[in-house]
Amino acid sequence: MNKKIIIPFLAILLVGSVFAGVYYFNSLSIEFNINEPFTSYYKETSESCMNVDPSTYIELSSNSQILQDMMPGEIKKICLFFKSDALETIGISHSLSGNSWGMVEIIEDTIPIELDPTSSNTVNVGHLKFKAKSDSIGQFDGTVDIGR
């Protein structure tokens, strides 16, 4: 082949490759989802939450969790277990919503404020203990919202 044709052709090809590479990297788009890093589980119990087998917990959903009926003066304890899939410690918060919380008295609230992914199952456990007020009667309808 003729070197007079090949050398300019390769030069044009090289310049074109550089422009094509720059254009490619300037137009690269990346898409992905960031998932919720933890899953919440609950169990109604009368014993210590640390003694409850994690396999017996029920996953929380957006649906109502129906608990057994209470009598005035009775105490309920709900253990909450959080499984963290995050790679680092994350903070969580909880709040109470609904207009029935006046029917009960919160006795203990040990829901953790942060979740450690590298710890054992017992570290990410807390509980909510409440007592039905002696003058309460009717249907209790309250919500514990957990998020970050």
Q: For 80-121, what is each residue's pLDDT tens digit?
A: 888 888 888 888 888 877 767 778 888 888 888 888 876 555
Phi-psi region of 98 (alpha: psi -120 to 50; beta: other; left: phi over 0): left
% of the chain surpassing 90 pLDDT: 0
Q: Which amino acid is at 133?
A: K
d(CA 102, CA 128) in angstroms, rounded, equals 15
Burial of 117 (0-12, 13-18, 19+ CB in 10 A): middle
Between CA 55 and CA 93, with CA 77 as vertex, the angle to 5 degrees is 80
Specify if 66 maps to a domain: yes
The answer to whether residue 52 is domain-embedded is: yes
Averaged pLDDT of the chain:
79
Q: Which residues contact 97 (CB under 8 A, 6 or more apart)?
A: 142, 143, 145
Q: Is the residue at 123 inside a domain?
A: yes
Tokens 């919380």 belong to which residue? 101
pLDDT at 26 over 80: no
Whole-angstrom distance, CA of residue 80 vs CA of residue 108: 13
Residue 15 lies in a domain: no
Domain that holds residue 71: 38-147
Examine residue 128 and state whether it is found in any structural domain, yes or no.
Answer: yes
Whether 78 is covered by a domain: the verdict is: yes
**Which structure tokens are listed for 19?**
């422009």
Residue of 99 and 71 predicted with greater confidence: 71
Evaluate whether residue 77 is within a structural domain.
yes
In a domain, 67, yes or no: yes
- pLDDT tens string 115-124: 887 655 556 8
| CA 32 – CA 80 distance, rounded (Å) | 30
The total of structural domains in the chain comes to 1
User: Collapsing DSSP states into helix, strand and coil, what is residue 128?
Assistant: strand
Q: Which tops the pLDDT comparison, 107 or 4?
A: 107
